[in-house]
Structure formats: C-alpha cells, structure tokens
C-alpha cells in the first residue's frame, strides 16, 4: 500500500525494478542511444561522482544541469510540479533536493514562497482570502460552497470557488452566468474560443503553443490532451 501511494504521488517510478535513490545509481534513458554511467545525461560531460545527483528513478545528471533546470522552473513559478529531466520520466523533485541544488539565495527564497503558495492552492481544505492586500488563509473541514468570512479583512466569499457568496446558485451556474454577462467584451469572446476549464479546479487554461501535455498553473493538475473549445 505504501509503495502504491509513493508511485501515485510520483515520488517513486512505476517500475519497481528500478534502482533505489542513490547518488551514483544509473538507468538508461528512453532514447535511441545509450549514455555511459559516468556521463551527464544532459551536457554529456564527465564529472566526479560527487557532482552527480539523481531522484528515486535513478537518472543521473550533474549539479550544473540540475541547477539550470531548477532555476528555469522557479522563474516560471513551477515548484511542487518540477519533474525529472529524463525523457518521459515524471518523478517529482522533492523540496529538499531542489533547495540543495539551487545556488542563489534569492532563488531558494522564491522557491520556498512559490512552493508554499502551491501547497495551499492544491490543498482541498485551504483557501487564500480573495480580499484586497489580504494574505490570510482560510481552512474548512470540507471543500463545499458555503459562506466564509475572513476575520482579518472581513471579506465574505464562497469557500469552494472563491467568488462572492452566491447561494442558492451552485458554483458552476454562477460562473456560467458571470461569463455570459461579459459576452459583449472581446476578452470574454477570446476566453470562450481559446481556453478550456481545468478538469480539477475549473480555472481557465490557455494553450498558446507546444505539445498536448498541459498543466494547470493554479492547481498543477496535468492533462495529456488539450482541445480548444
């Protein structure tokens, strides 16, 4: 059971026969050529063993390539969804691993801030208060459409969708109504034509290039196939 949970959480690779987490462990990358065990899989340079780092999947890369990869991800506000650099490997980078390989102090600070924000956004019982200049976090036992009031800024909102409280209307209906009310604007027309709601948190996602592997910037839910409406 515990092994299944680790695999589902993308902490471990799905193949149980892969090597365990260790510096120096190796696994051939799923490409058409083989990479020697003493060569970085990205820059193909040789380094000392203490310069190689790998996740539980066993893919080895040098600290320089890891640092560059992490810096790019943090600059794009990606933290808890950072994956292994190997092709078709979706094992996630742990927070301690990332902080250890980020060289610059301000990037480590940004990573911690963004990771905290992502953890709250992905937690079903937590919500940021939508009040202006309010950074309070509201907690509820269940993610239901109920009125909550921030004790700091006194803002009232629906806990489930974050909009103004809208009882007895459900969250989906009020979202459709608000979109319809804005149909006369070009922004609303563009959203209707070029975006798709995230299947998990229902926020709008826009595809403006790249492959069909999309990731919601809000809840980090990943979907492999994206089709514009």
- Token readout for 162 is 């974050």
Cα 121 to Cα 115: distance, rounded to the nearest angstrom: 10
Of 86, 36, 46, nearest to 66 (Cα)? 86
Cα 5 to Cα 120: distance, rounded to the nearest angstrom: 21
Cα 141 to Cα 8: distance, rounded to the nearest angstrom: 24
Cα 151 to Cα 136: distance, rounded to the nearest angstrom: 9
- Token readout for 170 is 């459900």
Active site residue: 84, 153, 204, 211, which one? 211
Q: Answer for the pair 87, 41: CB distance below 8 angstroms, yes or no.
A: no
Is 211 known to be catalytic?
yes
Catalytic residue IDs: 211
């Amino acid at each position: 059971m515990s092994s299944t949970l680790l695999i589902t959480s993308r902490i471990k690779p799905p193949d149980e026969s892969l090597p365990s987490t260790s510096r120096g462990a190796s696994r051939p990358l799923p490409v058409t050529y083989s990479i020697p065990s003493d060569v970085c899989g990205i820059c193909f340079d040789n380094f000392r063993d203490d310069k190689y780092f790998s996740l539980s999947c066993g893919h080895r890369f040098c600290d320089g390539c890891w640092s560059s990869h992490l810096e790019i991800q943090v600059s794009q506000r990606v933290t808890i969804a950072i994956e292994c650099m190997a092709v078709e490997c979706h094992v996630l980078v742990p927070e301690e691993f990332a902080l250890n390989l980020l060289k610059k102090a301000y990037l480590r600070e940004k990573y911690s801030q963004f990771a905290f924000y992502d953890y709250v956004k992905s937690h079903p019982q937590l919500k940021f208060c939508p009040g202006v200049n309010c950074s309070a976090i509201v907690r509820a036992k269940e993610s239901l459409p109920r009125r909550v009031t921030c004790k700091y800024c006194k803002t009232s909102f629906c806990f489930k969708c974050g909009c103004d409280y809208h009882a007895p209307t459900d969250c989906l209906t009020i979202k459709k109504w608000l979109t319809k009310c804005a149909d006369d604007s070009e922004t609303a027309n563009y959203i209707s034509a070029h975006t798709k709601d995230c299947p998990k948190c229902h926020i709008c996602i826009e595809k403006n290039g790249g492959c069909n592997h999309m990731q919601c910037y809000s809840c980090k839910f990943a979907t492999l196939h994206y089709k514009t409406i």
